[in-house]
Every structure is written in C-alpha cells, then in structure tokens.
Amino acid sequence: MLTNQFLFQEKKQNSNMKINQIKKQIDHLIKDSCSLLKTRMKELDIYPTNTTGDVLTAAKVIVLRHKDLQTKVAKLKNEVS
C-alpha cells in the first residue's frame, strides 16, 4: 500500500515538473514569436502598440497593400501581353 502511494506521489511530482517545464517553454516561444513579429512589422514600416486591435489593423493594411499590388501586377501583365 505504501509503495503504491509512493509511486503515485512520485508520478504526480514528475507530471507537475513536466507541466511546469512545458509552460516555461510556451512562455519563451510566445515572447520569441512576439519579438520576431515586431521586427518583421518594423521592416514593413508598421509600428503598432502592443494592443491586439493595432496589430489587427496593421494586418488589414498589409492585406490591402497585397491586394493592390496583385491588381497592379495583373494590369501590367495584360499590358505586356
């Protein structure tokens, strides 16, 4: 009975350690991803604040620019053809 209880506690402790380790990895990945995103956005001359709304607005601007460029490319292809 004591060995089962001891094994259970040991498994629980190992599980908790793994959970904490994974949480730290997730936090690190989130911070790294945010840093990379901000760097890429600066390369596109977009300087949003840290709010979600600003990031979404910047993303919409990028999509609109992309659509405009696609339209221009299509027009130029038609002119060349």
Quick one: pLDDT at residue 22? 97
Quick one: pLDDT at residue 1? 63
**Residue at 52: amino acid letter:** T
pLDDT at 39 > cutoff 80? yes
Average of pLDDT values for 50-74?
85
Contact status, residue 46 vs residue 62, Cβ threshold 8 Å: yes
Quick one: pLDDT at residue 21? 97
C-alpha to C-alpha distance for 60 and 25, rounded to whole angstroms: 30
Instruction: For CA atoms 57, 58, 61, 67, give the dihedral sign.
Output: negative
